[in-house]
Amino acid sequence: MNSSNNNVKPIGVFDSGLGGLSVLKELAQRFPNENFIYLGDTARLPYGSKSVDTIQKYAEQNIEFLLKKEAKVIVVACNSASSAFLTKNKKDYGLPIINVIEPASQSAINTSQTNNIGVLGTRATIQQKAYNRVIGLLAPQYKIHSVACPLFVPFIEEGLIDDPIMNLIIHRYIYPLLKTNIDTLILGCTHYPLIKDYIQKVAGKYIQLIDSAPAVADILQHKMAVKAVTPNIKNNKQNIELFITDINSRFEEVATRFLKPVTYSNITATQL
Ligand code: DGL
């Protein structure tokens, strides 16, 4: 095997910060023979409050970075970037790019019995109506109820998860949805699976939460099965490299906690 062989190339994953680790964790467990490069653009977080043009520009730079690291497929593990990408991207990067919106939408459609789907997301994702557009195309009979949750990301990045203040914020965002007929709720930001249990408590047991990570892993599996992505057959030790555009004092501790039981190989500060 030489380094130009697709087999030894890593899977590239990026997000604005820690949230995409929820996707990385699922992928690393589902594909133990694969190596991963994760880019967290913490210096420019949050993406969710920025304009679509800015997010698209950041997404392009992140993709370029992962291409230089020889990624064989790129997972956009960020809903805000996926929405911007679905709206704006015209470029062909010559490799598969998987977003999180389409897989999560399909999973929600398969799950809902009431044809009413809730979406929690950042301002950018909700304002761009990415889920409305994708679900509207796949299954126009479904009604979408969306709530922008701008406070979730900063609190999660701070590690304030099991905290009374987080519980108050969850109540504030979820209550309007409980007056609708939703039975399925999309966690439309990759940070939100990190507070999934707390959201579930407030939403109640009759609402199914949709995390995009397993659906993204299914898409990747399919791409490997049809040879759009060449799988790595054997790997004695899975290599997971994290690149972060700004390392704050808490990042390593919080990243370790979020990825558990998956462990990363190293973490490097980088500039784009
Ligand atoms: N994790 C990102 C997402 O899925 C967003 C966090 C941010 O606002 O940067 O939308």
Residue 138 neighbours by CB under 8 Å, 6+ apart? 105, 106, 109
C-alpha 227 – ligand 1 centre gap (Å):
30
Percentage of the chain exceeding pLDDT 70: 97
C-alpha 45 – ligand 1 centre gap (Å):
8
Please state which of the ranges 15-19, 85-89, 142-146 shows the lowest mean pLDDT. Answer: 85-89
Please tell me the distance from the alpha carbon of residue 74 to that of residue 135, in angstroms, as a whole number: 23
38-57 confidence digits (pLDDT tens) = 999 999 999 989 999 999 99
219-241 confidence digits (pLDDT tens) = 999 999 999 999 998 888 899 99
Report the pLDDT value the prediction gives residue 87, as an integer from 0 to 100.
Answer: 84
189 Cβ closer than 6 Å to some ligand 1 atom: yes
Report the pLDDT value the prediction gives residue 82, as an integer from 0 to 100.
Answer: 95
Residues serving a catalytic function are: 78, 189
149 Cβ closer than 6 Å to some ligand 1 atom: no
The token duo for 204 is 């109640």
Q: CB neighbours (10 Å) of residue 147?
A: 17
More confident residue, 73 or 124: 73
- E-strand ranges in the chain read 11-15, 36-40, 73-76, 97-99, 116-121, 143-148, 184-188, 208-210, 240-244, 266-269
Domains and CATH numbers, the chain: 6-99+214-269 (3.40.50.1860), 101-211 (3.40.50.1860)
What single-letter DSSP state applies at residue 193?
G
Percentage of the chain exceeding pLDDT 90: 83
User: At residue 3, does pLDDT exceed 60?
Assistant: no
Q: Do the beta carbons of residue 68 and residue 54 sit within 8 Å?
A: no
Assign 1 a pLDDT band (cuts: 50, 70, 90): very low
Report the pLDDT value the prediction gives residue 75, as an integer from 0 to 100.
Answer: 98
C-alpha 225 – ligand 1 centre gap (Å):
30
Report the pLDDT value the prediction gives residue 248, as an integer from 0 to 100.
Answer: 77
Assign 6 a pLDDT band (cuts: 50, 70, 90): very low
127-145 confidence digits (pLDDT tens) = 999 999 999 999 999 999 9
Report the pLDDT value the prediction gives residue 171, as an integer from 0 to 100.
Answer: 97
Please tell me the residue having the least CA distance from ligand 1 atom 2.
78
Assign 4 a pLDDT band (cuts: 50, 70, 90): very low
Report the pLDDT value the prediction gives residue 258, as an integer from 0 to 100.
Answer: 86
